[in-house]
Amino acid sequence: MTQKQIKALKIRDLLDHYIPETPIPLHHKDAYTLLIAVLLSAQCTDERVNKTTPMLFAKAGNPYDMIKLSIEDIENIIRPCGLAPAKSKAIHGLSKILIDKYKGSVPDKIELLEELPGVGHKTASVIMCQVFDVPAFPVDTHIHRLAHRWKLSNGKSVTQTEKDLKKLFPESSWNKLHLQMIYFGRKYCPARGHDSANCPICSIYG
């Protein structure tokens, strides 16, 4: 085991201590509503998404009802989440594809998810691990930042960070770990105003 792997496992132990519980931060009731919520969370806070989705899901909590709405209707509801024109087209388009190709269900293969409009690798990875319990390590900007800050990755790209983290941590821990990192970053290791001396991980490994 390399020194970096040993450090990674010690960091995981600290994450287990400080963030023992990892509820999914986006409110949802099934695979479809989580897919839409994750799509909306791009360049938007989870808090704002959770304030927006109740109105959307009250009108359309499944793909069949969603395609009954116009793209403009969807756009008006999701506008607080930003990038509304693109996101509304993606939501309407992927809902139609789910009906036409998958009988209204969300597919359980990452490559099929990535074919859907507005669904990138990170969004697909979230669905794989949080809905289908398939090991994945979704890397968002927060995890990318922490991995670089903790010197677990060179931080050149989110793709490289994902590869580095997958090598360092056991596959069985990926699904919980990515959420632990997100919650830890928000509470102890923020992007701005961060005091490394008071951070339980940076004070040791920063």
Query: Which pair of structure tokens corresponds to residue 206?
Result: 């920063």
For the segment 113-131, the average pLDDT, to the nearest whole number, is 97
Which CATH architecture fits 31-130? Answer: Orthogonal Bundle (1.10)
Q: Do domains 3-23+137-205 and 31-130 have the same CATH topology?
A: no
CA 88 – CA 90 distance, rounded (Å) = 5
**Active-site amino acid positions:** 122, 140
Note whether 104 and 62 are within 8 A (CB). yes
- Nearby residues of 14 by Cβ (< 8 Å), 6 or more positions away: 200, 201, 204
- Give domain 3-23+137-205's CATH number out of 3.40.190.10, 3.40.50.1110, 1.10.1670.10, 3.40.50.150: 1.10.1670.10
CA 128 – CA 130 distance, rounded (Å) = 6
Query: Which pair of structure tokens corresponds to residue 161?
Result: 């960070």
CA 12 – CA 178 distance, rounded (Å) = 11
Nearest to 37 by CA among 131, 134, 163, 177: 131
Domain ranges of the chain: 3-23+137-205, 31-130
- Nearby residues of 94 by Cβ (< 8 Å), 6 or more positions away: 35, 39, 63, 116, 117, 118, 119
CA 46 – CA 194 distance, rounded (Å) = 21
User: Tens digits of per-residue pLDDT, 54-85?
Assistant: 999 999 999 999 999 999 999 999 999 999 99
Mean pLDDT score of the chain: 96
- Neighbouring C-beta atoms of residue 186, cutoff 10 Å: 14
* Residue 206, pLDDT above cutoff 90: no
* Residue 155, pLDDT above cutoff 80: no
For the segment 6-35, the average pLDDT, to the nearest whole number, is 97
Classify 104 as helix, strand or coil: coil
For the segment 152-158, the average pLDDT, to the nearest whole number, is 90
User: What are the counts of helices (DSSP H) followed by strands (DSSP E) for the chain?
Assistant: 12, 0
* Residue 6, pLDDT above cutoff 80: yes
**Is pTM, for the whole model, over 0.85?**
yes
CA 159 – CA 121 distance, rounded (Å) = 9
Q: Provide φ and ψ at 181, rounded to 5°.
A: -65, -40
For the segment 39-44, the average pLDDT, to the nearest whole number, is 96
